[in-house]
Structure 1
Amino acid sequence: MRRLIWHDQTLNTAIHWQCSDGQLEELARLLAGLGIRQADICLNGWRRYCPDLKGVQKYLSLRGRTSLAEPELGLAEQLGMKGVALVCNAARQDRFNLLLASAMRDADRRCLQSSLQLEDISVLSAPELAVIAEQVNGYDVASIIYDDRKAKGDPLSAFEQLVIIIRKVNCPAEVCLGNAFGLATANSLAAVKAGITHITTAVAGIGGYAPWEEVVFAVKQLLGFDCALPQDMAGICQQAAAVLELSIPESKAIIGQSIFAHESGLHVDGVIKSPELYEPFSPELVGLKRQLIIGKHSGSIAIKTKFSAWGIGLEDIECKHLLDRVRTLAVKKKAAITDIELQQLYRSSLKEQNYART
């Protein structure tokens, strides 16, 4: 089974947003906790405020991204990077060979591994891809990067193009995919099926890239790859977003805090009896827990299950009285009932029942 390698862009976004050195190091630590070991950094973006990357490099191996037309290879060497990605537009081949030859000589002199990142490559035809592959094969590049950050491709065309590239070039191929139309995860899966093993992602899709958690979980569940998932995967992703002062939507696929929340009475009954029919995977796989939301749509099963988790067994008559109170409060609040409110309603109901008996 092929081993997948993740090239992170979350850190690059943090640098673009001019996060502090401490924030960058903490983010790198969290990324390493997810099993991510490499990150690509835009050298031009780094120049804007020159953060110290020594703390980051304790956790991640960095590759500098720079323009082929004006490569900043000296800066990459100065920052202790082992490689660079030379970026150029695939559709514009003016002086391509001359520029690449010059950059490769300079990179070799500095002992930097050079990858070639081709922007807008998704718009090229098969014959045009073959021409580029022939040109690339004339140089000792570490890899060729299929760059579709503008999200012009789709899974079918991406698969077909990547199969051609893999067959034609003499070096490994990578993908760097944008998520403007919500296809980055699907395009990444197509890339893996085509034979790609190096994939650019970002936690929660931050910065407009393929969401790491979606891609890693999909290749594990759907394509059968042996990808190790940290026990608190969702929590670590939440922490990484928090470092950037962002919050992940509760409904976010794979890691959203409320994606396993259930309220409707019939629905809750079904989830309790056969969770596999209602949930695509076990919440524990990503460090989440199933939540029973108590509100105006709740039924007796949800109430009994909730109290059973607290070690309290409700009789049918108790549950009926309590459910009436829950629905009244939920309608009045126009929102779900919190656990504290539910417990208060229960105590109030008990007092009334005891008073009625006396």
Structure 2
Amino acid sequence: MIPYGRQDISQADIDAVIETLQSDFLTQGPAVERFETALTDYCGAAFGVAVNSATSALHIACLALELGPGDLLWTSPITFVASANCALYCGADVDFVDIDPATFNMCPRALETKLEAAQAAGRLPKVIVPVHMTGQSSDMAAIAALARKYGVRVIEDASHAIGGHYLGAPIGNCAHSDITVFSFHPVKIVTTAEGGAAMTNDGKLAERLRLFRSHGITRDPRLMTHAPDGPWYYQQVELGYNYRITDLQAALGVSQMARVDDYVARRHAIADRYDALLAGLPVLTPLRHPDGRSALHLYVIRLAPEALERPGHRAVFEGLRARGVGVNLHYIPVHTQPYYSKFGFAPGNFPASEAYYASAISLPMFPTLSEDDQRRVVDALKDTLAA
């Protein structure tokens, strides 16, 4: 079975982890700071706070922005559930903004219309979470302009997007947001096995992110209520969590970051080949927007109407898997999940997202995908469409 995604672990990665295993620190040591520095150096943000998952990063990003009960967060329906759940963890409410069918990202026009209505109703969101679906940046200049106009904070969910660029600058520089979140799950662009990070240019937000990462505990006298009792002293000043990343994970991340540009370049070469091989088939290949350079975490095709009619979406998906191609579907619209139905969401609420779901299939995309395997994927698709 050809998987839809796969990590690439080199000997340099293995050596970095072994060196850390033989060091004095397995967690809360110098490798974490080196990884955070590698992220800020690459992205151009002032601060990076590494954590144990992107879900944790989203949670503490919301906490740092003081999202809480009575507040509202908006995100895209086409995302993993964590982009919405992070609001619920804080006791806040969730709503969604429909996608642009061409980019799969939050539609700025739909956002503007919804913000106008929300202002009239006296129920504006406190936080907007645009998701850089497949690794392609949302239209952050337009979203940031609307956020400034309506007094809304912005968290970029860039879980798919490290190594990507927008308007000539690296995604993660926070030029258009308060905080940007990355994921380092094994199928992402670079991996720490499990892990995430929150990037920001605001020193106070970075300070709060670090507090929430580690139980709300500080050893910094500036943040304490009184002078330390002695050199052993610490204070819990917030209700935080154990969201720390280990030095083993961070060491792997530092090693992987040395290859991030190579990984993205390879993904673009694979996407170029897919585009050529799929020409003439009843499928829509993904748009690569000229405003940026996608990190291409995913290569999502959509079935054209004639393929949806026959053999049909499910038949194509199952046919590919039966032929040894491990396709996937990213994602089921969050508002259609059973858990979210109790908040009043229902099918039909966000038609562009639901139309995407009814036609989308993620083909295998990872840097070590060979040309022979890529040809197998396309041949299997041809056979399935002809069945």
Fold shared, TM-score > 0.5 on shorter chain: no
- Structure with a larger share of its residues in helix: 1
